[in-house]
Amino acid sequence: MLRLSQETTLFLNLFLCIGWWDHRGRFGQVHKCVENSSGLTLAAKMIKARSQKEKDVVKNEIQVMNQLNHANLIQLYAAFESRHDIILVMEYVDGGELFDRIIDENYNLTELDTVLFIRQICEGLQYMHRMYILHLDLKPENILCVSRATNKIKIIDFGLARRYKPREKLRVNFGTPEFLAPEVINYEFVSFPTDMWSLGVITYML
């Protein structure tokens, strides 16, 4: 399990930032970087976390990602912490957001493409749900294509994810309005179908 390093200077010693990544997370900027020892290209999400509450949110994301190991979920490589920042180092993919393909008039989105996208999202979600983890912010912006030449995808952004304990009723009042399930809007108990509602909206968009 990955643990937070207490020094972001260690990050600078281990990794070389070589540019911006197209995707920007909700709470931070994302840089393309290279691990000095291996030459491996990765993505570094640099998050401002000044208050303890903000740090707790990021640490929840780290705890969730530490439990997830699946081909359709973005993988956490390392994490670093300083007084006001937390850096998440993750695998790098450069195919852009699924949202970009949806709105691109020059991209020929076929029925087969849609089937491949949805199947992979379902497989990633199925794995998360087997681990009793809810994503709670599924949307095309949080699904990245591995490359521009393939339909392989990765689900990202686990900042709002929660561990689901059936005996402990869970309510949430966050998410992206267009993709919210009725139980979130009505502040009722959420569960696995909450993510499936969001998936249904994505399917409709495709």
pLDDT tens-digit profile of 154-203? 999 999 999 999 888 899 999 999 999 999 999 999 999 999 999 999 99
- Amino acid symbol at 83: R
**What CATH number is given to the structural domain containing 85?**
3.30.200.20
**Pair 110, 80 in one domain:** no
Domain of 174, in residue numbers = 98-205
Distances in Å between the Cα of 116 and the Cα atoms of 84, 176, 190 are 41, 24, 27
In this structure, is residue 2 part of a structural domain? no
- Position 199 scores a pLDDT of 98
pLDDT at 13: 62
CATH of the domain at 103: 1.10.510.10
Q: What is the mean pLDDT of the chain?
A: 88
Q: In the prediction, which pLDDT does 75 show?
A: 97
* 100 flagged as catalytic: no
pLDDT at 20: 52
In order, the DSSP letters of the chain are: ----BS-HHHHHHHEEEEEE-S---SSEEEEEEEETTT--EEEEEEEE--SHHHHHHHHHHHHHHHT---TTBPPEEEEEE-SSEEEEEEE---S-BHHHHHH-TTS---HHHHHHHHHHHHHHHHHHHHTTEE-----GGGEEES-TT---EEE---TT-EE--TTS------S-GGG--HHHHTT----HHHHHHHHHHHHHH-
> Per the domain annotation, does 131 fall within a domain?
yes
Residue 1 resides in a domain: no
**132 shares a domain with 79:** no
Q: Which two tokens stand for residue 200?
A: 């249904």
Q: Are residues 82 and 103 in the same domain?
A: no
Contact 157, 179 (CB under 8 A): no
Number of structural domains (the chain) is 2
Question: Do 60 and 110 reside in the same domain of the chain?
Answer: no
Instruction: Using the structure block, give the residue that is written with the tokens 């502040």.
Output: 187
Are 89 and 77 spatial neighbours (Cβ–Cβ below 8 Å)? yes
Same-domain pairing of 106 and 73: no
Q: State the Cα–Cα distance between residues 194 and 37, nearest whole angstrom.
A: 42
pLDDT in tens, the chain (206 residues): 555 555 555 665 666 666 555 555 555 688 888 888 888 899 988 888 888 888 898 999 999 999 999 999 999 999 988 788 888 999 999 998 998 888 888 888 899 999 999 999 999 999 999 999 999 999 999 999 999 888 999 999 999 999 999 888 899 999 999 999 999 999 999 999 999 999 999 999 99
Catalytic choice (85, 94, 113, 137)? 137
Which of these, 178, 183, 182, 184, lies nearest to 204 by C-alpha position?
178
**Residues 6 or more apart whose Cβ sits within 8 Å of residue 186:** none
